[in-house]
């Protein structure tokens, strides 16, 4: 909201500089910045016309000689009809600027006569609108004095306020003046009205019934007869434009002015268009239609409150007037509506139509039910001043259930304890007085009577905030100690995330945060679990919540590839969501770890191996071991979106999977290079690790015996199965089995492969004899032959 | 010349030989041979010992044994230096300026860094870490926090809806309700997390961002306590010379409510673009827990009091690292990420 300093001055003496007001309001909770308006000219000085003769070539121009206090006098050609000898005038010297610098005064020849400067009008100096003639001054100041020292230009300051939703009372100059008065330590002056009523009584011209009291607890009206619609006077236009409002005509401007001044939205009807002379306030019927002042037809619902002429809607209460009954150039008789509407009713209505107006904004934030009549009286007086006419006798005030003024009991100790301060009773009372909150003692408490414009104050704690606000948050001391209780400690369920981040970032992975709102299609790429869609997405591209951690990572891969970045590794830890109709929040949330490898051969003089699935597998295994998981196994498996993929288990629990991104997906993400991915459910990892108990085993004191075996098996035999079989026979003595050679050769035939394993045996209590180991090896080879048809090489 | 003289002389001779700079390998072997071989100088003197004057024989025997030990130890020490020298020679033949095997440097996301820094500060003060769901019901995100339906306060946050009753949380404040519902007071937690706002994506705003929520509930908690904790946080995070400013604000779930600003550390409050020439940076919202919130979770507001605060991570990270476009956080640009 824009607030004019000059306007505020109508309410209270302001001695603080604008910077202090800005700071003070901000520290009172009204965020504020300000713009000081400045003069629109430079180098305009006081001069005296010491000679004035007609221009030889033009009858509209005069050739003057002007004394500006220098030794030299200047010849200036002037076109104003009121220029004459021996007057004091504002003179723009050569080099001066006008119109905020747009217009520069230069030496010139006008119809052949040299002119060094310009004598200015009131309008040119933005002093007033007068452009008929030059400004004639009366002053004792010496010639050559800067004109801003001669005339008080009264430059305004505009404050831009950011008003929080609880402070509806600050949506006016009067309201802001009350806050400024706290800073100035004064009270605001109340308006003195001198309204004259005459002629017919209002109740003889109009009848008003409220049929929806819950929407409209109070409705008042006045009638003004015989107005003449016309332009607004200069001062009013200036006031409205200073705070960014447009001038329309005198009556509309008057209503707008009072709105900005006193904060209560009112509506003016053309009385002659209210044919039934009977206003009814009722809720709209479903699908009822009306055309509003913006000339658009709106379809209404039963949430909308209507002002009706008989039964015909003429205004959408508290939001916008109807087109048909509005003020036009031909209006002569006016009905002023000043009502109090329920904030929730207005908000619902405005939201439904997605229509927010100056009126609805204020009613939504709640208005002062007792301000209804003062605002209407002021508007009536102003309309008569600006547009003539006379105010009908009396007022209609339908207000069946008078709203009682709020009383709050305030306890000083409670206030001091909550804020951590130590106000004395007198200090508290001083603060309440500044807020115009009257009070009386009741035992140890104060019973506070809340001004009707402060609808936001309903509880003791609200009053305590008011006290803190005026006391100054910065004056509340800061505790030098902190307290706690062992009872408040809870375990960190995401402790693992940090560990994973450390491990992966130490191993060349960069952490990524991706947008968890996705194009719907992407939720089918790596999961068949239904995702969560938004009712009101920003765009189609962000219409669902991710059900997999991979799309975001792959989008980042594509992003980097397009920027010629190759051979990188990314990871992300974040929430994914799956639809669950059983849950009250409709979703199951899981934390996932995703890792991607953008494979690219490394440019290096040592000719390092190209990254492949086995490098990736090793990296996954290392990561899982680092976080504390042993017993990891891999099982070839079909995974949505991947080719050459495997599921990963810790004992019997599946924790995730990995593989190479399928060619179809690569195309969909527009990725050219080879990409490997891994994903794991971090919630599951966390649970598994919590169950893991470390148990120390002393290293053996006896030497180990190593034996190698090489076998020929069919290609479909899995190495993992061979190893399991070897271990099952090796017993306690077999400590390690390492595949150290894998070989395919035409000489084995196309269906066979050679596998070579190194077996390490060791006993914890004796030196192993060759005989024992040889026996075991024989048993193992027999078993492999039986189980896998393995031939020893 | 007695044998004792010869022993002394040999020692001097040895010292001269050894002290003559660091011997190279061949010279060392030569010295070793000269003194300790079977036909070396020591053996020579031992041979002479038998023919020495019996009166001085015991003394000479002792002296000779000492010399032998002296020489052995010296040569032992010297052997390490000699072999070092040999290795240096070998290294000269290998060009160690050739690049080593590449182990690419990874990185931790700037938002993680800021979150971890903040949570570390608060965990020192005894705050536990808590988490809540990103998708939540209207009750947890709004109603229980005293953000009532049909109140203009709802306009403060543009909300994504899943259904009329289920929303993407607009703040981490939903954690306050979950915490209080699931635990008896006292409570002392901070809750980091991702939140969503239905706002157009631009340089300054994104459809999601991250917050850290703080909640402390106990008996006799005051606003002075809140200021103490947050001022400590500000000094830890922004540096000990930072100034803070608390000013009244409005959040439906705190009363009194405040906004905390810190003195602009870019311009030392002389005015700059980042603080928009105000000298202050808006950092977080906070306040004393509103009694209505306590009532909605069944805490008695006459017994319990507390404070809550919430801060946006992106803004802090942008300020800290000089990032001007918020979208950079979510693009996954390696050239951006690797800088952290």
Q: Which H or E run includes A26?
A: helix A18-27
Residue contact B246–A474, C-beta within 8 A? yes
Residue A517: list chain B partners with CB under 8 A.
196, 207-208
Cβ–Cβ gap B99/A604 under 8 Å: yes
Which of the residue ranges A56-60, A152-156, A784-788 would you say has the lowest mean pLDDT?
Answer: A152-156
Higher-confidence residue of A392 and A36: namely: A392
**Which ipTM value was assigned to this complex?**
0.86
Q: Are the Cβ atoms of A602 and B102 closer than 8 angstroms?
A: yes
Best residue of B247, B299, B317, B326 to probe chain A, by most A CBs closer than 10 Å: B247
pLDDT of residue A177: 97
Provide the pLDDT for residue B154. 82
Least confident of A272-276, A659-663, A671-675, B2-6: B2-6
B104 occurs within a structural domain = no
Count of CB atoms situated within 10 Å of the CB of B76: 9
In the numeric block, the tokens 């709050």 are attached to: A408
CB A455 within 8 A of CB A341: no
Asked if the Cβ–Cβ distance from A556 to B198 is below 8 Å, we say no
User: Taking CB atoms and an 8 Å cutoff, what residues of chain A touch B236?
Assistant: none
Count of domains forming chain B:
2
Residues B43 and B177 reside in one and the same domain: no
Q: What is the pLDDT of residues A586-635, one digit of tens each?
A: 999 999 999 999 999 888 998 888 889 999 999 999 999 999 998 899 99
**Residues B194, A512: C-beta atoms closer than 8 Å:** no
On chain A, the residues whose CB falls within 8 A of the CB of B335 are: 563, 565
Highest mean pLDDT out of A95-104, A603-612, A763-772, B215-224:
B215-224
Q: Are B215 and B293 part of one and the same domain?
A: yes
Consecutive H or E run containing A495: helix A495-506
| A550 to chain B, closest Cα gap in Å | 13
- Residue A495 banded pLDDT, cuts 50, 70, 90: very high
Is A586 close to B232, i.e. CB distance below 8 A?
A: no
Q: Which of B50, B85, B120 is the last residue of a domain?
A: B85
- Split at pLDDT 50, 70, 90, the class of B38 is confident
Residues 399-418 of A with CB under 8 A from B: 417-418
Q: Do both B310 and B184 map to the same domain?
A: yes
Residues from chain B contacting residue A538 (CB–CB below 8 Å)? 198-201, 207
Shortest alpha-carbon distance between residue B59 and chain A (Å): 49
Tell which of B34, B52, B85 closes a domain: B85
State whether B41 and B140 are in the same domain.
Answer: no
Q: Are residues B318 and B218 in the same domain?
A: yes
Same domain, B79 and B158: no
**What is the distance, to the nearest Å, from the Cα of residue A531 to the centroid of all Cα atoms in its chain?**
27
Cross-chain Cβ contact B106/A511 below 8 Å: yes
For residues A472-483, give the mean pLDDT.
95
CB contact under 8 A, A506 and B335: no
Task: Tell me what pLDDT residue B89 has.
Answer: 57
From B99, B131, B246, residue closest to A494, measured CB to CB:
B131
Q: Test A510 with B247 for CB contact under 8 angstroms.
A: no
pLDDT at B20: 66
Query: Which residues lie closer than 8 Å to A297 by C-beta, 6 or more apart?
Result: A289, A290, A291
Minimal Cα distance from B290: which residue of A? A461
Q: B63 and B164 share a domain? A: no
Indicate the pLDDT class of residue A42, thresholds 50, 70 and 90.
confident
The b-or-e profile of A127-149 (16+ CB within 10 A means b, else e) is: beeeeeebbbbeeeeebeeebbe
Q: How far apart are CA A438 and CA A428, in angstroms?
A: 12
Q: Match 């804020």 to its residue by tokens.
A: A419
- Distances in Å between the alpha carbon of A759 and those of A630, A740, A756, A779, B130? 20, 10, 10, 13, 48
Contact A474, B246 (CB under 8 A): yes
In this structure, how many other beta carbons lie within 10 angstroms of the beta carbon of residue A81?
11
Give the distance from residue B84's alpha carbon to the nearest chain A alpha carbon, in angstroms: 28
Q: Does residue B71 sit in the same domain as residue B114?
A: no
Q: Tell me the pLDDT band of A750, cut-offs 50, 70 and 90.
A: confident
Residues B321 and B315: their CA atoms lie apart, in Å, by 10
Claim to verify: residue B217 and residue B171 sit in the same structural domain: yes
Residue A198 at interface with chain B, using a CB cutoff of 8 Å:
no
**What pLDDT is stored for residue B87 in this prediction?**
55
B140, part of any domain: yes
Residue B92 falls inside a structural domain: no
- A581 in contact with B, Cβ within 8 Å: no
Question: Cβ B248–A468 below 8 Å, yes or no?
Answer: yes
The proportion of chain A whose per-residue pLDDT surpasses 70, expressed as a percent, equals 100
Best mutation target, B96, B102, B159, B223, to test chain A (most A CBs within 10 A): B223
pLDDT at A209: 96
| pLDDT bucket at A390, cuts 50 / 70 / 90 | very high
Nearest one of A307, A315, A366 to A341, comparing CA atoms: A366
Kindly report the three-state secondary structure assignment for every residue of B43-96.
HHHHHHHCCCCCCCHHHHHHHHHHHHHHHHHHHHHHHHHHHHHHHHHHHCCCCC
In a domain, B101, yes or no: no
One domain for residues B121 and B248: yes
For A550, the 3-state DSSP assignment is helix
Q: How confident is the model at residue B83 (pLDDT cuts 50, 70, 90)?
A: low
Model confidence at B40: pLDDT above 90 = no
Residue A758 has pLDDT above 90, yes or no: yes
The bridge status of strand B280-289 relative to strand B254-263 is antiparallel
The verdict on a CB contact (< 8 Å) between B108 and A501 is yes
**Long-range Cβ contacts of A240-245 (<8 Å, 24+ apart):** A242/A2, A242/A4, A242/A6, A242/A7, A242/A156, A242/A158, A243/A2, A243/A3, A243/A4, A243/A7, A243/A158, A244/A2
Does the pLDDT at position B92 exceed 70?
no
- Domain extent at residue B198: 110-337
| pLDDT tens string A561-585 | 999 999 999 999 999 999 999 999 9
**Cβ separation of B166 and A585 shorter than 8 Å?**
yes
Average pLDDT value over all residues in chain B: 90
pLDDT confidence tier of residue B63, bands split at 50, 70 and 90: confident
Mutation to test the A interface, candidates B209, B217, B332, most A Cβ within 10 Å? B332
Chain A: nearest CA to B248, how far in angstroms?
4
> Residue A446 pLDDT > 70, yes or no?
yes
In a domain, B57, yes or no: yes
Q: Which of A164, A507, A534 sits opposite B161 (nearest CB)?
A: A534
Residues in chain B with CB shorter than 8 Å from the CB of A608 are 101-102
**What pLDDT shows up at residue A591?**
96
In this prediction, residue B88 has a pLDDT band, given cuts at 50, 70 and 90, of low
Task: Spell out which residues of chain B touch residue A508, defining contact as CB-CB under 8 Å.
Answer: 103-106
Contact at CB, A538 and B136, closer than 8 angstroms = no
- Lowest mean pLDDT across A8-17, A140-149, B238-247: A140-149
Within this chain, do residues B273 and B161 fall inside the same structural domain, yes or no?
yes
Residue B22 pLDDT: 64
Contacts of A557 in chain B (CB under 8 A): 332
Higher pLDDT, B91 or A577: A577
Within-domain flag for B182: yes
| Residue ranges of A 468-497 with Cβ closer than 8 A to chain B | 468-469, 473-474, 476-485, 487-494
Which residues are within 8 A (CB) of A156 and not within 5 positions of it... i.e. 6 or more apart?
A4, A5, A6, A37, A242
Report yes or no on B103 lying in a domain.
no
- CATH number for the domain spanning B284: value is 3.30.930.10
Please say if the pLDDT value at position B21 is more than 70: no
CB A611 within 8 A of CB A596: no
Q: Under an 8 A CB cutoff, do A511 and B137 touch? A: no
Closest CA–CA distance from residue A460 to any residue of chain B (Å): 10
Contact list, B250 vs chain A (CB under 8 Å): 29, 164-167
Q: B250 CA to chain A: closest CA distance, Å?
A: 6
Mean pLDDT of chain A: 93
Write down the pTM of the prediction: 0.85
pLDDT in tens, B107-141: 999 999 999 999 999 999 999 999 999 999 999 99
Query: How far apart are the CA of A572 and the nearest CA of chain B, in angstroms?
Result: 9
Residue among A484, A509, A532 minimizing CB distance to B135: A532
Average pLDDT (A375-403) is: 95
Rounded to the nearest 10°, the torsion over CA A295, A297, A302, A305 is: 10
CA A72 – CA A168 distance, rounded (Å): 61
Tell me which chain B residue has its CA closest to the CA of residue A167. B250
Interface of A with B in 348-377 (CB under 8 A): 348, 351, 364-365
pLDDT of residue A302: 94
Taking an 8 Å cut-off on Cβ atoms, the answer to whether A417 and B183 are in contact is no
Take residue A448 and report the two structure tokens written for it: 């506070």
Q: How far is B210 from chain A (nearest CA, A)?
A: 11
Listed residues B51, B85, B119: the one ending a domain: B85
Q: Do B330 and A513 touch (CB under 8 A)?
A: yes
* Contact flag A568-B218 (C-beta cutoff 8 Å): no
Closest CB to A482 among B152, B155, B228: B228
**Which of the residues A538, A578, A593 would you substitute to probe the B interface, choosing the one with the greatest number of B C-beta atoms within 10 Å?**
A538
Tell me: do B227 and B304 sit in the same domain: yes
- Judge: A418–B102 Cβ closer than 8 Å, yes or no: no
Chain A segment 605-624 residues within 8 A of B by beta carbon are 605-606, 608
Residue B207 and residue A542: Cβ atoms within 8 Å? yes
Q: Tell me: the pLDDT tens digits for A221-236?
A: 999 999 999 999 989 9
């Amino acid at each position: 909201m824009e607030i004019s300093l000059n306007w505020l001055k109508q309410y209270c003496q302001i001695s603080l500089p604008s910077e202090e007001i800005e700071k003070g309001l901000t520290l009172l909770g009204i965020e504020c910045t300000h713009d000081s308006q400045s003069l629109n000219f430079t180098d305009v000085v006081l001069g005296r016309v010491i000679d004035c003769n007609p221009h030889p070539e033009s009858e509209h121009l005069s050739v003057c000689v002007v004394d500006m206090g220098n030794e030299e006098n200047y010849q200036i050609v002037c076109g104003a009809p009121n220029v004459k000898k021996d007057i004091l005038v504002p003179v723009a010297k050569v080099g001066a600027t006008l119109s905020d610098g747009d217009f520069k005064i230069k030496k010139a020849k006008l119809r052949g006569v040299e002119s060094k400067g310009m004598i200015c009008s009131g309008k040119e100096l933005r002093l007033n609108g007068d452009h008929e003639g030059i400004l004639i001054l009366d002053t004792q100041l010496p010639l050559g004095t800067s004109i801003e020292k001669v005339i008080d230009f009264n430059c305004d300051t505009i404050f831009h306020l950011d008003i929080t939703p609880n402070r509806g009372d600050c949506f006016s100059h009067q309201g802001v003046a009350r806050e400024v008065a706290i800073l100035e330590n004064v009270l605001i002056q109340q308006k003195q009205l001198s309204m004259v009523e005459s002629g017919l009584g209002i109740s003889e011209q109009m009848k008003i019934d409220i049929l929806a009291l819950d929407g409209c607890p109070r409705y008042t009206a006045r009638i003004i007869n015989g107005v003449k619609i016309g332009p607004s006077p200069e001062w009013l236009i200036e006031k409205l434009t200073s705070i960014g409002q447009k001038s329309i005509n005198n009556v509309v401007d008057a209503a707008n002015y009072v709105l900005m001044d006193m904060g209560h939205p009112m509506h003016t009807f053309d009385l002659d268009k209210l044919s039934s002379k009977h206003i009814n306030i009722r809720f709209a019927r479903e699908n009822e239609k009306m055309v509003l002042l913006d000339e658009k037809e709106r379809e209404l619902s039963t949430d909308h409150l209507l002002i009706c002429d008989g039964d015909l809607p003429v205004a959408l209460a508290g939001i916008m007037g109807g087109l048909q009954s509005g003020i036009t150039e031909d209006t002569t008789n006016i009905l002023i509506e000043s009502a109090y509407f329920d904030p929730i009713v207005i908000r619902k209505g405005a939201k439904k139509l997605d229509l927010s107006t100056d009126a609805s904004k204020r009613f939504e934030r709640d208005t002062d039910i007792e301000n209804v009549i003062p605002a209407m009286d002021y508007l009536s007086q102003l309309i008569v001043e600006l547009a003539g006419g006379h105010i009908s006798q009396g007022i209609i005030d339908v207000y069946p259930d008078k709203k009682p003024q709020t009383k709050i009991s305030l306890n000083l100790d409670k206030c001091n304890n909550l804020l951590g301060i130590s106000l004395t009773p007198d200090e508290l009372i001083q603060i309440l007085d500044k807020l115009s909150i009257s009070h009386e003692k009741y035992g140890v408490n104060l019973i506070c009577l809340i001004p009707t414009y402060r609808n936001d104050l309903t509880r003791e704690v609200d009053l305590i905030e008011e006290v803190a606000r005026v006391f100054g948050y910065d004056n509340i001391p800061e505790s030098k100690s902190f307290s706690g209780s062992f009872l408040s400690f809870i375990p960190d369920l995401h402790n693992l995330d940090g560990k994973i981040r450390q491990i992966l970032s130490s191993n060349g992975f960069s952490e990524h945060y991706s947008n968890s709102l996705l194009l719907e299609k992407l939720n089918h790429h790596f999961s068949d679990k239904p995702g969560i869609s938004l009712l009101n997405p920003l765009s189609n591209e962000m219409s669902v919540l991710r059900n997999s951690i991979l799309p975001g990572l792959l989008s980042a891969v594509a992003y980097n590839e397009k920027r010629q970045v190759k051979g990188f590794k990314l990871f992300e830890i974040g929430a994914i969501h799956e639809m669950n109709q059983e849950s009250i929040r409709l979703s199951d949330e899981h934390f996932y770890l995703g890792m991607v490898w953008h494979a690219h051969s490394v440019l290096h003089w040592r000719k390092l191996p190209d990254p492949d699935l086995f490098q990736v597998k090793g990296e996954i295994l290392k990561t899982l071991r680092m976080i504390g998981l042993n017993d990891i196994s891999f099982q070839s498996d079909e995974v949505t979106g991947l080719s050459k993929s495997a599921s990963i288990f810790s004992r019997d629990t599946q924790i995730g999977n990995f593989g190479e991104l399928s060619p179809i997906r690569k195309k969909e993400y527009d990725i050219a290079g080879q990409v490997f991915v891994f994903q794991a459910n971090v919630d599951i990892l966390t649970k598994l690790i919590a169950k893991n108990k470390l148990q120390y085993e002393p290293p053996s004191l006896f030497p180990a015996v190593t034996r190698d075996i090489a076998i020929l098996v069919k290609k479909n035999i899995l190495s993992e199965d061979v190893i399991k079989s070897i271990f099952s026979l090796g017993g306690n003595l077999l400590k390690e089995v390492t595949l150290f050679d894998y070989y395919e050769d035409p000489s084995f035939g196309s269906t066979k492969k050679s596998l070579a394993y190194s077996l390490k045996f060791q006993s914890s209590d004796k030196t192993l004899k060759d005989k024992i180991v040889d026996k075991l090896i024989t048993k193992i080879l027999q078993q492999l032959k039986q189980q896998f048809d393995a031939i020893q090489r | 010349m007695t044998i004792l003289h010869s022993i002394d002389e040999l020692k001097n001779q040895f010292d001269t030989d050894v002290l003559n700079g660091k011997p190279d390998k061949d010279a060392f072997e030569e010295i070793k041979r000269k003194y300790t071989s079977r036909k070396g100088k020591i053996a020579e003197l031992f041979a002479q010992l038998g023919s020495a004057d019996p009166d001085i024989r015991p003394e000479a025997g002792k002296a000779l044994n000492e010399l032998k030990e002296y020489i052995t130890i010296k040569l032992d020490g010297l052997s390490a230096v000699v072999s070092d020298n040999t290795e240096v020679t070998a290294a000269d033949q290998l060009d160690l300026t050739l690049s080593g095997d590449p182990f690419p440097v990874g990185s931790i996301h700037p938002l993680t860094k800021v979150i971890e820094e903040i949570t570390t500060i608060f965990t020192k003060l005894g705050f536990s870490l808590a988490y809540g769901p990103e998708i939540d019901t209207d009750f947890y995100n709004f109603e229980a926090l005293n953000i009532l339906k049909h109140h203009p306060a709802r306009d403060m946050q543009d909300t994504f809806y899943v259904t009329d009753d289920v929303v993407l949380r607009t703040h981490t404040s939903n954690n306050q309700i979950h915490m209080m519902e699931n635990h008896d007071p006292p409570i002392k937690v901070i809750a980091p997390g991702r939140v969503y706002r239905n706002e157009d994506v631009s340089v300054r705003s994104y459809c999601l961002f991250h917050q850290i929520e703080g909640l402390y509930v106990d008996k006799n908690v005051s606003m002075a306590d809140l200021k103490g904790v947050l001022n400590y946080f500000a000094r830890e995070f922004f540096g000990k010379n930072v100034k803070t400013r608390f000013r009244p604000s409005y959040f439906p779930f705190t009363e009194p409510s405040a906004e905390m600003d810190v003195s602009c550390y870019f311009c030392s409050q002389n005015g700059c673009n980042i603080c928009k020439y105000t000298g202050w940076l808006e950092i977080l919202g906070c306040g004393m827990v509103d009694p209505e919130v306590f009532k909605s979770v069944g805490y008695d507001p006459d017994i319990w009091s507390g404070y809550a605060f919430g801060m946006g991570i992106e803004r802090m990270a942008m300020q800290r690292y000089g990032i001007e476009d918020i979208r950079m956080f979510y693009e996954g640009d390696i050239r951006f990420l690797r800088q952290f």
